Structure 1
Amino acid sequence: MKAKQKKEIFLSRLFLHLDGIAIIPTVLALENQKIISEFKNCSLSEISQQNNANEAYLNVALRLLCSQGILEQNISDDGEIYFNKKNNDNIQKRIDTYNLVAGVYEESIDYSILHKSHNITNTALFQITNNFIKKYQKTKERDIFYYHIEGAILSPIIVELALKGYFDNITNTITNFKQLHPLVRQLIENLFICTQILDHNKTITDYGKFILNRSTSYGVTVSYLPTFQNIKNLIFGNYKLLWTTSGDTEKHVDRGMNVWGSGGAHNTYFKKIDKIIIDVFNRPIQEQPQGFIDVGCGNGKFIEHVFNVICKKTQRGKQLNQYPLTIIGCDYNHKAIEITQKNLHKVNIKVKTIIGDISEPNLLAKKIQKKYQVNLEDLLNMRSFLDHNRIYYTPKNEITQKIKSSGAFCKKGQRITNNALQQNFKEHLEKWAPYLKKYGLLIVELHTMNPKEAANNIGKIAMTAYDASHGFSDQYILEYDVFLELASDVGLRPDPMHEYKLPSNELTIVSINRLVKK
């Protein structure tokens, strides 16, 4: 088999793993109410009323079933959403298979016990994993449902071990496993043999190397396990269970794990981002921005990367004594600002920091001018995977938008209609447009897609996983064409030299653009 074919097969399994983590608890929560096996074609509001469900999160869940080809979604011009059952003879097999790993979501499993030096045979983690191994260790024929439950079992274990460095510098064997308690080591080795990461001689397979070297790819989806374990509550119970007040530790996501997983993904996009940075800072000095601002700076690593690209690969980098860069890190979170300052101080990068909200550019511009005497429009504005995580505000203007997005959107348990979300995003960009006239906006963004298209491309993308983690946590990812159309409505367009669509032009899940004035 050629290397390219191998990679496609391995990547497909990884995507099925991610989808499985999210779709399994969704299907089980709905089937607990017999919504799937006894499904009758009707509207979202009817299904919600019949089952005393939260309409907002029920909508997210049913749309996920559409992305898996179980249902079909239709949205009328007046915004009513209808779901139709597709001919699906395998639905009971799917439910039965998923039930084998129900314990992953019913128990609050502590994966850190894998590092502890005591017997774990009485724990839920051991029993669920061991039952999975017993059932499948001799099975050769494996379907999509199998790979879904394999993902539910395997992914959190891979992430937990990767975070502790067990897969650092792996060659043909995983020598770091010697550090584990013998019973834990035996369990994981048996699991890895069952899932073809190791062969029967405990040598890492080609597939194993592929998966373990991409362990960060599991990080973001696994970080939302606290949300997935509460899908039943979100739809049928206390949907406020995961709410926190400002300053509290988030309940819906493991933020440290999320940042770790995101960091691995960001490395994929840096090559495209670098092209934009090099282009902008190679121009004649009078056409260059004074510097750049990263809104949502997090730990400051993106700022560090961009600074290094400018220093080492651009004309501006050769002129920093004469034309120093103004670098601003902005974040809504005080702790993020502190971490950014600390990290950049270590590498001798002078950064100005400011607390700011992506939804309030006018206020941010005033604060920057007052504190640093810098005009926001004189900077290259940058942000990555942030706009979809903005705070939703009810649109100020009349909603005249026709419904173009197929997405499912919520705020604090209340459904946001699709045309209202579109209008909100348009108004959001409208507030930013005056500050982007000179140098534009370097933006990396995540997108959804029509569930029918997602269902036709299962195994080529992990759309179900992304829609679940964002939909159940009140984040607002739009289709790429809708995103561009709303940007165009406020006078912004992609720089034609720098419009990047990943993984492909046909299936755009991530876009990298410099949005400029039309």
Structure 2
Amino acid sequence: MTAPPAEPDPGAAVDREALRRTAFLYQDGVMLAASVRALDALGLLDREQPRSPDDNGYLRVVWRCLTAAGWLTEGALGTWTAAGRAALRHRDRYLAAGDFLARFDSVDPDCWAAPWDAVTRAGFAAAADAHGAWRSGADLTDPVTLHLDAGLAVPALLSLRGTGRLDRPDGEIARLLTLLGWLDGENRWTPWGRAGRAFVDHLGMVGSYLPMVSRLPQLCRGEQVVVPGEGEWHCQRQLNVQASAAAHRRYFADADPVFRDIFSAPSPPAFIADMGCGDGSWLAHLHSMFGDGIRYVGIDISTVALDTARGVLEAAGVRDPILLTGEIGDPGALSDRLAAHGLRMADGLHIRSFIDHDRTYLGDGPRADVPGWATGAYVAPDGSPLSAVEVETDLVAHLRRWTPHVGRHGMVVLEAHCVAPQVARRHLGALHSVAFDAYHGLSHQYPVEYQSVLRCCRLAGFEPTGHLERRYPTSRPFVAVSLNRLTPVRPAPRFAPAVRQDTWQPAPDADLTDGVRLHELLYVDGELTQPRGWAAGATGVVVHDTVRAVESRIARALPGETVRVLDYGAGTGLASLELVRAFAQHRVVERLAGRGAALELHVVDIPTPWFAQGFALLRDVPYTRFHSLRDASGRFRGLREVIGGRQADVVLANMVFHLLNGDAMRHAAASIAEVLRPGGLLAFSAPDLAPATPYSVLFHDPNRLLRRYWLAALDSADPAGLPPVVRAAVAAVRPASRAEAQRRADRRILPAARTVSSVEAALTPHFLGRTRRRTDELLAEESLMTALVPANQTEYLAEVSDPRLRGELIHHLMSGRVLPELMAGPAGTALGLSIAWTTGRYQRR
């Protein structure tokens, strides 16, 4: 993607990605210009290692901003990179941009509605002349050019917007916009400029923090601290509220399915309470969906926001909205205020958008179990730096304060996240994190990585609803924004003892070691209330589709009927375990019993230690039935035979189809179709179907790379030069074993992954439906765990017979070669890899 030429073709189509890149780099440019100005004032730009362990919190935010922009290395002290040195060759231009931006230090509510004074106009004209002369010899595709454009363009565009002149720019601003390709030679908007106007509101977010960055030198010296709340000097709140509403609008519409899901329940919430409601746009949008049947409550700490919300809700026709002052960190006080209006807090659905990171830091002492994954630079109320553990501990304590109040309906949470500098610098122009993380850090806000949020939610007693989760962007290996419905963690249901009705059970003395290791790869510490995120999302989609199909069947169930679900290739039972929890939450068994009907969950696989572990975990569930796909002679059986000639209403196949070759997949599709009733549902997921997306890998790609590195070591022309553990493993291999070992490895991880199209082709003769793609993060530790599952390692590296040596070899190759290589590539995340999943929802013809 490139920036437009100075004079774009007036008839040219607009590249939206290039326009988005410009908007992101403009915001980066504002923060980088302000940072250069502050560091220059402190005399720190000329040091090769400019950072110090004694730097205060604000200065650490600045260093992190430069690191995310690729200007500094990621070490504790940091050194200037080639990109940083190249950018600072234009130091005087960044200083000029920073100085001009520092003029906009007012927090007066009407400051952007007033025309510029004569001094500002003259300063702009001089700066525009100097910038135009510099730009004539600049590379227009270089991010530096857009950074420096931003120093003038951002305040100019915000001024046009605030004074109502965005339709008719004139004077020096029009001259600048013509230089940038937004206007033609006759002061008419070009296609690029017309499209770019849609992003002007978004520039208001970074613009709202110009009063703060104008005093960045004082903050970095420790001469001043930011004090959020009433009387704030650091943020022009009116512009901030307006920009927030513009930025959040798209996410509000995306959340509609979440609300429909919640309000379709037999006992829906009595009211919706939006904590941090801003201008009230989300409540107004929800009123357009649900009308006057429920109450709408807006809460905000800012009186400016509440005044704006009152007007927005009145214009939307919301009758008698309740508008309250309140703070995200004090749900107890909110409960009292709601009670004064006759509302029980537990009866409402509590929602919030981009506000949990804007809580007041209270501190709660370090916790041993928070992950410490957050990479942001955080500032304590006194200006000192905060560690990741301190911020995550505070987040857990904050969420726990909400737990007693939202047990009935949970919370719908839109949240923004920081992105690790080593990831952000690979995606400059495709994310807002360089600027976002900086102005939030400086203003005492505490966004953390998405994985950190999920782990802290679990520690606080909340779990996300997997099938409702949304992450943005959908195509990159980072999460800048997430949407979740959080509910209190549901304990695993308990059942009274019952007589088993299985056609297969494992031997009483079956060795479950291998199954336990796989189970721990799927659940944190094997705990059934903590499915690991890498598999929980796609599995949640399969479970949700299954529950929906079963619920539609309940409405038609007749006395004496049985609703049957079949889990094909169940393994250790992940999908069935999650389905049992969902059935309990939706009272499926009880509702069927009320109609005189019953439920059966048929769990089917090849007898292995994995399947034996599944039986151990599900044996107490009375409606489960375990079956083997093989008969006593080892013959594969069709599913209709497996479950005794009966038909199923739903078949789910979770993490199965990627393991089947062409013939096996066609046979499986025909067998599933035979056992499903007409119109019955097949729901599936698979993490290893090609192709991967541009910024993801397939689940077994790390294992394939592990195998390639191992084969290269086996064929090394210099075995003595190999690392000791690799050398020892090579020396232990018998040449005669290599052919059989290769066959076993090929069977387990498939040298070339099966394709989505091949699965679709196998299903098409029997089913109607479609596949979808999604990505999820596989942590580096989880990728290593995958390779170390005993059954996997004996197949991936079958040439090495000594388990201890094989484990050491896997640790060495995965930690030293495979994961660093993949994490440095397009799919690399802060903590692991983005993996591509395929999910499918099909109906039998």
TM-score range, shorter chain: 0.7 to 0.9
Between the aligned residues of both structures, percent identity stands at: 23
Contact 1:304/1:349 (CA < 8 Å) preserved in 2?
Answer: no
Q: What CA distance in whole angstroms lies between the structure 2 residues aligned with 1:201 and 1:283?
A: 58
Q: Which amino acid aligns with 2:294?
A: L
Q: Does 1:83 align with 2:83?
A: no
Contact 1:72/1:452 (CA < 8 Å) preserved in 2?
Answer: no
Q: Secondary structure of 1:264's partner?
A: helix
Q: Does 1:512 align with 2:508?
A: no
Single out whichever of 342-351 and 418-427 deviates more from structure 2. Answer: 342-351
Shift of 1:234: 0.6
Show the counterpart of 1:56: 57
Change in Cα spacing, 1:333 to 1:162, as seen in structure 2 (3 Å) is closer
Show the counterpart of 1:69: 70
Change in Cα spacing, 1:94 to 1:477, as seen in structure 2 (3 Å) is farther
Q: Which amino acid aligns with 1:147?
A: L
Contact 2:14/2:192 (CA < 8 Å) preserved in 1?
Answer: no
Single out whichever of 457-466 and 392-401 deviates more from structure 2. Answer: 392-401
Q: Deviations over 1:410-439 (max 9, x none)?
A: 123122222011100011111112223221
Contact 1:159/1:218 (CA < 8 Å) preserved in 2?
Answer: yes
Shift of 1:460: 0.8
Q: Which amino acid aligns with 1:444?
A: L
Contact 1:156/1:222 (CA < 8 Å) preserved in 2?
Answer: yes
Question: Pick from 272, 294, 303: which aligns with 2:283?
Answer: 303
Q: Unaligned regions of 5+ residues in structure 1, if any?
A: 49-54, 75-80, 168-173, 178-184, 312-319
Question: Pick from 193, 196, 209: which aligns with 2:178?
Answer: 193
Change in Cα spacing, 1:138 to 1:484, as seen in structure 2 (3 Å) is same
Question: Pick from 188, 193, 196: which aligns with 1:203?
Answer: 188
Q: What CA distance in whole angstroms lies between the structure 2 residues aligned with 1:405 and 1:140?
A: 36
Shift of 1:336: 4.3
Contact 1:37/1:92 (CA < 8 Å) preserved in 2?
Answer: no
Contact 2:245/2:278 (CA < 8 Å) preserved in 1?
Answer: no
Contact 2:273/2:350 (CA < 8 Å) preserved in 1?
Answer: yes
Q: What CA distance in whole angstroms lies between the structure 2 residues aligned with 1:401 and 1:142?
A: 42
1:333-344 map, 5 Å = 333-334=302-303, 336-337=305-306, 339-341=308-310, 343-344=312-313
Show the counterpart of 1:361: 331
1:324-473 map, 5 Å = 324-334=293-303, 336-337=305-306, 339-341=308-310, 343-345=312-314, 347-369=317-339, 371-395=340-364, 398=367, 400-412=369-381, 413-473=383-443
Change in Cα spacing, 1:113 to 1:134, as seen in structure 2 (3 Å) is farther
Question: Pick from 271, 278, 283: which aligns with 2:265?
Answer: 283
Question: Pick from 450, 455, 461: which aligns with 1:485?
Answer: 455
Q: What CA distance in whole angstroms lies between the structure 2 residues aligned with 1:212 and 1:122?
A: 22
Q: Secondary structure of 2:468's partner?
A: strand
Q: Which amino acid aligns with 2:282?
A: F
Q: Deviations over 1:28-69 (max 9, x none)?
A: 322344423322276533xx3xxxxxx111111111111011
Shift of 1:399: 5.2
Shift of 1:466: 0.3
Shift of 1:102: 3.8
Shift of 1:225: 0.8
Change in Cα spacing, 1:94 to 1:422, as seen in structure 2 (3 Å) is farther
Q: Deviations over 1:451-481 (max 9, x none)?
A: 1101111111121110111011111111111
Q: Which amino acid aligns with 1:231?
A: L
Contact 2:270/2:347 (CA < 8 Å) preserved in 1?
Answer: yes
Q: Secondary structure of 1:293's partner?
A: strand
Q: Secondary structure of 1:442's partner?
A: strand
Q: What CA distance in whole angstroms lies between the structure 2 residues aligned with 1:496 and 1:424?
A: 25
Q: Secondary structure of 1:381's partner?
A: strand
Q: What CA distance in whole angstroms lies between the structure 2 residues aligned with 1:121 and 1:25?
A: 18
Question: Pick from 28, 36, 40: which aligns with 1:27?
Answer: 36
Change in Cα spacing, 1:4 to 1:444, as seen in structure 2 (3 Å) is farther
Q: Secondary structure of 1:198's partner?
A: coil
Q: Secondary structure of 1:72's partner?
A: coil
1:34-49 map, 5 Å = 34-40=43-49, 43-45=52-54, 48=55
Q: Considering Cα pairs closer than 8 Å and 6+ residues apart, tell me whether 1 or 2 has the greater RCO.
A: 1
Q: What CA distance in whole angstroms lies between the structure 2 residues aligned with 1:497 and 1:278?
A: 13
Q: Secondary structure of 1:501's partner?
A: strand
- TM normalised by structure 1 equals 0.83
Show the counterpart of 1:227: 212
Q: Unaligned regions of 5+ residues in structure 2, if any?
A: 2-10, 490-845
Show the counterpart of 2:22: 13
Q: Which amino acid aligns with 2:401?
A: K
Single out whichever of 65-74 and 443-452 deviates more from structure 2. Answer: 65-74
Q: What CA distance in whole angstroms lies between the structure 2 residues aligned with 1:490 and 1:67?
A: 30
Q: Which amino acid aligns with 2:23?
A: L
Contact 2:208/2:237 (CA < 8 Å) preserved in 1?
Answer: yes
Contact 1:399/1:420 (CA < 8 Å) preserved in 2?
Answer: no
Change in Cα spacing, 1:266 to 1:437, as seen in structure 2 (3 Å) is same
Q: What CA distance in whole angstroms lies between the structure 2 residues aligned with 1:194 and 1:266?
A: 31
Contact 1:133/1:190 (CA < 8 Å) preserved in 2?
Answer: no
Show the counterpart of 1:212: 197
Change in Cα spacing, 1:232 to 1:357, as seen in structure 2 (3 Å) is same
Q: What CA distance in whole angstroms lies between the structure 1 residues aligned with 2:183 and 2:73?
A: 39
Q: Which amino acid aligns with 1:406?
A: T
Q: What CA distance in whole angstroms lies between the structure 1 residues aligned with 2:41 and 2:308?
A: 44
Q: Secondary structure of 1:328's partner?
A: strand
Change in Cα spacing, 1:103 to 1:121, as seen in structure 2 (3 Å) is closer
Q: Which amino acid aligns with 1:290?
A: A
Contact 2:37/2:99 (CA < 8 Å) preserved in 1?
Answer: no
Q: What CA distance in whole angstroms lies between the structure 1 residues aligned with 2:309 and 2:114?
A: 32
Contact 1:121/1:127 (CA < 8 Å) preserved in 2?
Answer: no
Q: Secondary structure of 1:123's partner?
A: helix
Q: Secondary structure of 1:431's partner?
A: helix
Q: What CA distance in whole angstroms lies between the structure 2 residues aligned with 1:209 and 1:343?
A: 26
Single out whichever of 300-309 and 90-99 deviates more from structure 2. Answer: 90-99
Q: What CA distance in whole angstroms lies between the structure 2 residues aligned with 1:397 and 1:458?
A: 34
CA RMSD of aligned residues (A): 2.9
Shift of 1:291: 1.7
Shift of 1:335: 5.4
Shift of 1:300: 2.8
Q: Deviations over 1:362-386 (max 9, x none)?
A: 33223423x1342212111111111
Change in Cα spacing, 1:73 to 1:190, as seen in structure 2 (3 Å) is same
Shift of 1:350: 2.1
Greater Rg, structure 1 or structure 2? 2
Q: Secondary structure of 1:497's partner?
A: helix
Contact 2:138/2:145 (CA < 8 Å) preserved in 1?
Answer: no
Shift of 1:115: 3.7
Change in Cα spacing, 1:86 to 1:340, as seen in structure 2 (3 Å) is closer
Q: Secondary structure of 1:366's partner?
A: helix
Show the counterpart of 1:131: 130
Shift of 1:354: 3.3
